[in-house]
A = this chain, B = another copy of it.
Amino acid sequence: MCGVFGIYGHPEAAKLAYLGLHALQHRGQESAGIVTSDNQQLVTHRGMGHVIDVFPQGQLDRLAGIHAIGHVRYSTAGGSGLRNAQPIAVNYSRGSVAVAHNGNLTNAEPLREDLEEKGSIFQSSADTEVIVHLIAKSAQKDIVDRLADALARVRGAYSLLCLTERTLIAARDPMGIRPLCLGRLPDGDSYVVSSEPSSFELIGAEFVRDVAPGEMVVIDERGLRSAMPFAAEPRRTCIFEYVYFARPDATLDGINVYEARKNLGRALAKEHAVDADVVIPVPDSGVPATIGYAEESKIPFEMGLVRSHYVGRTFIEPEQSIRHFGVKLKLSPIADILKGKRVVVVDDSIVRGTTSRKIVKMVRDAGAKEVHMRISSPPTQWPCYYGIDTPTRAELIGSSHSIPEINQYITSDTLGYLSLAGLKEAVISARVAPRGRTHLPVHTDDDARGPGETSADGAEASAARPLDHGSFCHACWSGEYPIRFTPAPKKLQLRLLHL
């Protein structure tokens, strides 16, 4: 999982990118990077860690320029390290270009193999490097056409920002898998693009609209214009963003995340009612669903588990094993609330089952008479190939165990998962009235419009089409992958390791 942020035409571009990335920090804490341009030269800095650590004042000051794109990256098992940090910035025949990318390409490996066969070298394992190669190799002249050319060859999920000396382009894959939003600073002509609109709020920008699936938004000295250069595909927005990943204050593709989560809780209460004294969330992500569950079930809501704000990554464990150590570092039960009670615990998902098992024991050790686990999504059974870092099938307890078996393993009294139908309905019910400016003030230079390029208004219309039951990717639960993933050939599996 990752987050991207871009800004065009602002004297404090790097600083606003830094703030925008900070608001996206929940989408990736492993590394962060910013590339700026002053219309003449690209300057880049990337580092491991949180945005605030990667960019001390001095470094921000050196990122001169009025345009910027930035990226935060999630820690994944393989492929960690500075080399895989983004944006990737390179020199090529037409100057310099930088790309930041949220999502995962499904055909990166065959493309990489093909490029290598033709003599390309790869310095990272990021599929973003594939896109940069394709841009550099395109026969087109203009960066807009080169990027369209490159993206026409890739398959999979991408919400992508591309910066050259004088042009910022935002592109979203035709299925609209990952979110991407367009905003504008109130006093002037600075456009901003972000994975989530929370970035806009922080820097005082206004939300304009979501970038449409398959849309390329080009921002340059002529203003903003839009194109739809790719063949249309069925919409397949990642529904897990609403369940877990996005910030609750976000509204993505017209659906309010907080409201969606409350609806999940309400639906869960309907599908899996239970006689209980109290309903508590696994904080922080489970809170809205628990509020919904409480409202629907009339069972009192309590914050029965407290989350520590001070958990670092490399905590030193005592040698003598403390029971449920890892969970205890993060969560503590409020015994006086749980003692003697029948407790419903609401969480968003169960991955390996080990954490849920520890939570159930923690709640029971605190004195709970009964522990009823309620999950606001179906059993996670399939890995995600579109940008969320899930373990292999073998590690997913939902792949190999029935719900009763999982219930037994995590030692809960009862266990209930929300159905896929219930999930979809709940999310769709969180649709909100269109926000943002109705009339996007764009310079639409009709002469400059290439094949398939439409005005921004067209894109806006497309973006405004509301999501329905059929609009989602839910492969992690259903196995119904909208795009087939091609794994790396054997020869590409043991690759250079950058420490």
Please provide the chain A residues from 1 to 32 with a CB less than 8 Å away from any CB of chain B in the complex.
Answer: 12, 15-16, 18-19, 22-23, 25-26, 29
A141: Cβ under 8 A from any B Cβ: no
Contact indicator B287/A303 (Cβ below 8 Å): yes
Please provide the chain A residues from 303 to 337 with a CB less than 8 Å away from any CB of chain B in the complex.
Answer: 303, 306, 308-310, 312, 314-316, 318-320, 322-323, 328-329, 332-337
A96/B309 contact (C-beta < 8 A), A123-B123, A318-B12, A336-B259 known: no
A227: Cβ under 8 A from any B Cβ: no
Contact indicator B258/A332 (Cβ below 8 Å): no
Contact indicator A334/B258 (Cβ below 8 Å): yes
A356: Cβ under 8 A from any B Cβ: no
A67: Cβ under 8 A from any B Cβ: no
Whole-angstrom distance between the alpha carbons of A314 and B58 in the complex? 13
A369: Cβ under 8 A from any B Cβ: no
- For A344-376 the 0/1 string (1 means CB < 8 A from B) is 000000000000000000000000000000000
Whole-angstrom distance between the alpha carbons of A335 and B436 in the complex? 13
Instruction: Select one of B29, B201, B288, B332 contacting A328, CB under 8 A.
Output: B201
A217: Cβ under 8 A from any B Cβ: no
- For A181-220 the 0/1 string (1 means CB < 8 A from B) is 0000000000000000010011110000000000000000
Contact indicator B52/A310 (Cβ below 8 Å): yes
Whole-angstrom distance between the alpha carbons of A121 and B99 in the complex? 13
Instruction: Select one of B16, B306, B319 contacting A249, CB under 8 A.
Output: B306
For A322, the chain B residues whose CB sits under 8 A away are 19, 202-204
A90/B123 contact (C-beta < 8 A), A96-B495, A248-B334 known: yes
Whole-angstrom distance between the alpha carbons of A236 and B136 in the complex? 38
Whole-angstrom distance between the alpha carbons of A201 and B201 in the complex? 39
Contact indicator A332/B496 (Cβ below 8 Å): no
Contact indicator B41/A495 (Cβ below 8 Å): yes
For A463, the chain B residues whose CB sits under 8 A away are none
A137: Cβ under 8 A from any B Cβ: yes
A52/B336 contact (C-beta < 8 A), A59-B499, A116-B91, A136-B120 known: no
Least distance between A383 CB and chain B CB atoms (Å): 24
Contact indicator A496/B432 (Cβ below 8 Å): no
Whole-angstrom distance between the alpha carbons of A251 and B367 in the complex? 15
Instruction: Select one of B96, B336, B494 contacting A40, CB under 8 A.
Output: B494
A92/B63 contact (C-beta < 8 A), A43-B499, A301-B301, A496-B42 known: no
A144: Cβ under 8 A from any B Cβ: no
A316/B26 contact (C-beta < 8 A), A44-B497, A334-B249 known: no
Copies of this chain, how many?
Answer: 4
A328/B202 contact (C-beta < 8 A), A309-B26, A319-B12 known: yes
A132: Cβ under 8 A from any B Cβ: yes
Contact indicator B249/A335 (Cβ below 8 Å): yes
Contact indicator B116/A121 (Cβ below 8 Å): no
Closest chain B residue to A207 by CB distance? Answer: B335
Contact indicator B42/A497 (Cβ below 8 Å): yes
Whole-angstrom distance between the alpha carbons of A492 and B335 in the complex? 47
Whole-angstrom distance between the alpha carbons of A41 and B499 in the complex? 13
Whole-angstrom distance between the alpha carbons of A147 and B57 in the complex? 44
Least distance between A39 CB and chain B CB atoms (Å): 11
A452: Cβ under 8 A from any B Cβ: no
For A287, the chain B residues whose CB sits under 8 A away are 303
A300: Cβ under 8 A from any B Cβ: yes
Contact indicator B288/A91 (Cβ below 8 Å): no
Show 26 residue pairs from A and B whose CB-CB distance is below 8 angstroms, ordered by the A residue. Answer: A12-B318, A43-B498, A44-B496, A44-B499, A57-B316, A62-B499, A90-B496, A91-B116, A91-B496, A92-B119, A95-B491, A119-B136, A120-B120, A121-B133, A121-B136, A198-B332, A202-B328, A203-B322, A249-B306, A249-B333, A256-B334, A256-B336, A258-B337, A291-B302, A291-B303, A336-B432
Given contacts A91-B492, A92-B116, 11 further A-B contacts (CB under 8 A): A12-B320, A15-B319, A16-B318, A44-B496, A89-B498, A91-B121, A98-B496, A249-B306, A258-B302, A291-B302, A295-B300
Instruction: List 7 A-B pairs, minimum CB-CB distance, nearest first.
Output: A119-B137, A90-B121, A256-B336, A93-B116, A45-B499, A52-B312, A25-B310
